[in-house]
Amino acid sequence: MPTKIITKLKTKQMLSPGHRACAGCGQMIAARTVAQTLGPDTIIANATGCLEVTTTPYPESSWGMPWIHSLFENAAAIGSGIKTALNYKKNNHTKVVVQGGDGATFDIGLGLISGMWERQEDILYICYDTEAYSNTGIQASGATPWAANTTTTPAGKGPAIEAIGSQQRKKDMIAIALAHGLPYVAQTTAGFPDDIVKRVKKALSMRGPSYIQILTPCIPGWSIHSSLAIKMGKLAAQTGLYPILEYVNGRLADKLKVPKQKIKVEKYLEPQGRFKHLFNSAIGKEQIKHIQREANKNILKYGL
């Protein structure tokens, strides 16, 4: 390929193709949308995880802006250091963004994220929520939903509650972010790329710390067909299980309403291998009813 064409492609692509992510990866759909919205005048600190290992195998990188990886737990601290250096240089135009999966965000890096938020630093944190440790073998994380089958919460057989898979409730990171007094907090999914663009642009228009959480369906982790990431992202929001929300200065400012013709959670759960066991037993079907009640609570709580 001629050098001029290569240079032209590099200037246009903030997250280039040719990476090692799975075909149809929901996280890559979201991350590319985010990167294109951010533009080149951005420095990213990225936690360990799928997004790191698939896009930056040494000595290569798919990123079209400065990108730094350190450890699983300390991407937020790296971001704080970058911001401090930019402030020292009186650079108030370069954006600082910290990225991590749900393992780095909900679990391993939570303490340092909290510190960054307490200091009210002007940094955008983006969580790509696959609802499990997708890079290390699909272990349960603090984001894993009720009754999901993971390698550390395996679905068994028989009538006992232990047979249903995960018995933990998904940690409410949106509430945790709001408790820190963040000016901007949003939740969206890879099913709505235009909404991701909208949330990122809004976050960048606000001064102070921002948090955006994006549900990113994982092809092997959710055991779904490679063509289904967008559809699963849409259904998660449309059923009310994963509402699209925006908070500005602690107030719910925007939301995506569910369709008037209610979509039952079965339509979202059934294509996913991680929930397949729920359809094969009486106790599993009871859990589907429980998950539907949780969706109904969200619809009522947020006025969807």
How far is 232 from 41, CA to CA, in rounded Å?
32
8 Å CB contact between 36 and 133: no
Q: What is the pLDDT of residue 7?
A: 47
Please list, in sequence order, all residues whose beta carbon lies within 8 angstroms of the beta carbon of residue 20, skipping any fewer than 6 positions away.
53, 54, 55, 57
**Rounded CA gap, 219 and 226, in Å?**
6
Show the domains of the chain with their CATH numbers: 3-302 (3.40.50.970)
Residue 248: Cβ-neighbour burial (10 angstroms; 0-12, 13-18, 19+): middle
| Predicted local confidence at residue 6, as pLDDT | 45
pLDDT in tens, the chain (304 residues): 444 544 444 457 999 998 999 999 999 999 999 999 999 999 999 999 999 999 999 899 999 999 999 899 999 999 999 999 999 999 999 999 999 999 999 999 999 999 999 999 999 999 999 999 999 999 999 999 999 999 999 998 766 776 799 999 999 999 999 999 999 999 999 999 999 999 999 999 999 999 999 999 999 999 999 999 999 999 999 999 999 999 999 999 999 999 999 999 999 999 999 999 999 888 999 999 999 999 999 999 999 9
> Would you say 48 and 68 are in contact if contact means Cβ atoms under 8 Å apart?
no
Q: How many residues does the chain have?
A: 304
Q: What is the pLDDT of residue 9?
A: 47
Write out pLDDT tens, residues 152-197. Answer: 999 987 667 767 999 999 999 999 999 999 999 999 999 999 999 9
**What gap in Å lies between CA 160 and CA 176, rounded to an integer?**
33
From the list 224, 231, 216, 218, the residue with the least C-alpha distance to 273 is: 224
- Return the closest-CA partner of residue 61 out of 98, 35, 79, 85: 35
Share of the chain above pLDDT 70, in %: 95
Burial of 4 (0-12, 13-18, 19+ CB in 10 A): exposed
- DSSP element (H, E) containing 193: helix 193-205
- What is the C-alpha to C-alpha distance for residues 304 and 292, in angstroms, rounded to an integer? 15
Tokens at residue 233, please?
Answer: 């992202």
- Please report the pLDDT score of residue 160 as a whole number: 72
- H/E stretch holding 222: helix 219-222
CA distance 82 to 300: 41
